[in-house]
Structure 1
Amino acid sequence: MSNTASQGERAERRAAPKPARIPSGDRPAYPPDEGSSLLEVVDLHAHYGKSHILRGVSFSVGEREVLSLLGRNGSGRSTTLKALMGLLPPSGGRIALAGRSLAGLRPHAICRSGLSYVPEEREVFANLTVDENLRMGEQPPVPGAPRWTVQQMFDYFPRLKERRHTKAGSLSGGEQQMLTICRSLLGNPRVILIDEPTEGLAPKIVAQVGECIEDMHRQGVSVVLVEQKLAIAMKVSQRVCVMGHGRIVFDGSPQQLESDPQLLAQWLAV
């Protein structure tokens, strides 16, 4: 993984911890399709050095559910994904996938247990071809997860098939994003974490990425999506969580969020 921090990550390190207002009123639960939580995050804390970035993050993701983490830069969204994947060791809390604790596991072991990650930085193997990058992502089947093939990846993104013998370092940013998503899917995850997949992409590619996420859901993969484009997140998600100052400040449906202009203004307006 690259040691270069993303803009969002740098902002999260600089963010001063402040108390977050939790919206009043009951928050109705939105149960997963299959009736039980698949990924559970309870009271998650994480630090960059002495900076306390995640300050008790709790949420769950159900079977076949797309959950978007929304918030301004510096709210802790990207740090949450890194902590779930073991790239930033949590300093407190619990993470469980299908009831199994992920505490203390290295990233490769977390991946093999059924949790996959698409980083904002893309991080393709620049000196390998598209085809070789995809083969690097292939993993044995994971119990309870759909199995994916390279041909399915080419069906999603025909441009990758056209460029299958091209070195990944020569691809455009959009093509690299396609490749990173496909490489992660080939790990046969039960849950896939996707960080800012549409950043800097042309509208046509943004639409393709959105369709891919929707099809992951239809095929049975749960998704945790960090996305700055509110319209995309609201379209593909069954549930949204808004983060502010390292905490979850809202958890509900896209419709509930859209109907609360005060919340939108306080936590999402630029």
Structure 2
Amino acid sequence: GTWHRASAGVPESFASRVRERLKARVPLFAAMVAYDRPLGLPFDAASFGGRRRKNKGRGGGRLWFAARTNSKPGGDGKVHDGDENDDDGVECWTLVSTPEYALEKIEETPMQDPKTGEFIPQSPEYLTAVPGPDLESAFREALTSPDGILGKEGTLDPGTFPDLVHLDAQRWGSAMPCHRNSDGRSETRRTICGVPYDIGRGALAPTRLERSDGNGNDDNGGTGPDDHRCFVADEGIMLFQAGDMMSRYTPGFEGAALSGMDAAERILKKYLERQ
């Protein structure tokens, strides 16, 4: 069928409150790449600050973050095939795009039908032909360029760079909420097919309250029913939405966790009231 979680039906009265809380979303693309042998890098993760395409050594405006998948906590740093005792030497990396690159690609290939507004999933063929190769090449350039993240002395030799043996990619049209202090007048705000995106960047740590003063008043002077909560709810039908998109805190994992705990506490209270 054509159903997708992004277009799941909810009452419009509830959906409008969710949109009002969200304001705009930050889009990203991610890619999973695997090389036939370790790259031998002196780090497990790195950020790439370059927003300009001409700055190839710093991500070329495409790459924002890279992490060595083999280094996840709890693992042994190795990738195994069918035999858990046999290390096949493959090294995997997760690559995350810049918001600027993601917005550019969504403008080229929208997420919604411009006439009907229906959500359009992106095909594996597109993901592995456009954003996947773009992110992998940006990563490779950042490691082999003299002005790249490794510096002139540590640059990897393009001629002996490990072979790419796997590539996959994913589009995150709503990867994160924009910062709560961003509004419709933001220079980084763009609306595509009726969906507002915002690629403005801000500090993601430490986690802090961005929206409310704790008395139901948000930083824009609002006093709506949801302004003092980290979630949106219609308690008449017991419909709740929580997560970093609804949180009043800095976008990220901690903000999402605080939102979930706030919603859970409220649900428990309502349940106990009915006993």
Q: Do these two structures clear the TM 0.5 threshold for a shared fold by scoring above it?
A: no
| TM-score under structure 2 length normalisation | 0.25
Higher RCO (C-alpha 8 Å, min separation 6): 1
